[in-house]
Amino acid sequence: MAGIYRDYEKIIEIYNATGSKDAQAFIQDTYGTQNPRCLISRMKKAEKFGYDKASQKFMTHSEPAETSVFLNLDDLCQDRMQTSISLHEDLQNALYQQLVQEKLLTLLHYVKLDSVSRRMTIDKNRLIMDGYQLTLE
């Protein structure tokens, strides 16, 4: 069923000319589809094909049919690659955020900021006890 998306126009021509049974037979013979009625049903529901219930025929138009109901293999692979890249970037950003949060929590043990008096208090003894060195520049 790999090339079925290329043959929508042919399926529509057969359906409009000879009817649903012949179109189903064409789909089943050409692609080995077990239930071709489902494909025709999806095509009827898709707006790209423009099925007219009153005349029970598809409207013919000049748009390529391959962009409508099914995605081809290239489109599917490209979507997966983009999804995996964005997922990787999201995980990397989350890791960076977590590391920065841990560093800030560690820093809060030693440094107190008072925004009202614009004063910073550093607990030098606690820093030295925990193995850090304090350098003022």
E strand or H helix that includes residue 41: helix 36-45
In this prediction the pTM is 0.42
Given a cut of 50, is residue 103 above it in pLDDT?
Answer: yes
98 φ, ψ to 5°?
-65, -40
- pLDDT at position 93: 87
57 φ, ψ to 5°?
-140, 160
- pLDDT at position 100: 92
Mean pLDDT score across all residues of the chain: 81
72 φ, ψ to 5°?
-85, 175
Find the mean pLDDT for residues 88-110.
Answer: 89
For the segment 26-78, what is each residue's pLDDT rounded down to a tens digit? 888 888 888 888 888 888 888 788 888 888 888 875 445 445 566 666 666 66
- pLDDT at position 82: 65
Residue 36 burial by Cβ neighbours in a 10 Å radius (0-12, 13-18, 19+): buried
